[in-house]
Amino acid sequence: MTRQLLVLGATGAVGRGVVAAAAASRRPVLAVSADGAGLRALRARHPDADLTTIAAPLRSEADAAALAVRLRDRALCGVIATIGTEAARGRLLDQPAEVLRRTLDEDLLPHLFAARHLFPLLPRHDRGTGYVLVGGPGGEYPWAGYGHRSIAAAALRMLARVLHDEAGRAGLRVQLLTLDTPVRSDGNHAHACAEWPLAEAVGRRALALLACAPARGAAPAVVPYASAPDLTSSEVEVATFAAAHAEGAADTAPELRDARALLDAIASTSPDSRTTPR
């Protein structure tokens, strides 16, 4: 059975970037979102991709349990969770407490619901399998005008650390990829800043985290997007190849040795010495 990459929140800006990056590296994708129209647009945008869509909400424990039931007969190679909503701008002190409560309900708790019910569906002790959450800006320093989002982002960091610790003891790698800025996408190109990363570039980075654990030491729970060089689609393909062949492959296989050597070289190269176009 073909193993699929599960993308949660696939119709959001980052989710679309993850799907685009996965399609470019020819990975089978299972895209989940409550936005049926957005899923249809996603299929139309990637007509040649191995893309399956599921319209399903993730607003509650019951939603996550129902999704897990629908996925229990599928073989998953990992999960990238890009759950989040757009929130209005405004000072925290000027808004009713309901705004913060709703932000936590929409941007934080669905990650816990999903993790609780999807972790059991993933293989353990597999170098190419993991669970990557993607978090927005404001988690480390307050984002002016979006204090409610900053609080949710900070809480997501701690949730990721807790999940990383608890799931790691059972052989499942959990990491959070954090962004310092919004992303550039087809929906905001008119006002996006030049320094914002492209959504597909964020998708490639998330895929690289998922595909292969660090060559040395334990995988960190929180990985800032800006702390590592960007990866091209071909480099993600190399990481995917190595992960797919690591399970049960002989260490003497020359292709696997070459792939691992290239991954080690990528991991040890500083961003300043790279020549990959941005």
Sheet holding 29-33, edge to edge: 51-55, 29-33, 4-8, 76-81, 131-135, 174-178, 222-224
pLDDT in the model for residue 278:
37
Cα(25)–Cα(28) distance, integer angstroms: 9
Residue type at position 32: V
CATH topology of domain 4-273: Rossmann fold (3.40.50)
- For the chain, domain boundaries: 4-273
Cα(41)–Cα(21) distance, integer angstroms: 16
* CA torsion angle 53 109 15 230 (round to 10): -140
Pairing label, strands 131-135, 76-81: parallel
Alpha-carbon separation of residue 56 from 9, 62, 101 (angstroms)? 10, 11, 22
Q: What mean pLDDT comes out for the span 260-275?
A: 52
Alpha-carbon separation of residue 271 from 69, 77, 205, 227 (angstroms)? 42, 28, 14, 8
User: What are the tens digits of pLDDT across the range 196-226?
Assistant: 999 999 999 999 998 765 545 578 999 999 7
Q: In which band, very low, low, confident or very high, does the pLDDT at 259 lie, cut at 50, 70 and 90?
A: low
Considering only CA atoms, which of 194, 201, 237 is closest in space to residue 17? 201
User: What are the tens digits of pLDDT across the range 56-115?
Assistant: 999 999 999 999 999 999 999 999 999 988 767 889 999 999 999 999 999 999 999 999
Global pTM reads 0.81
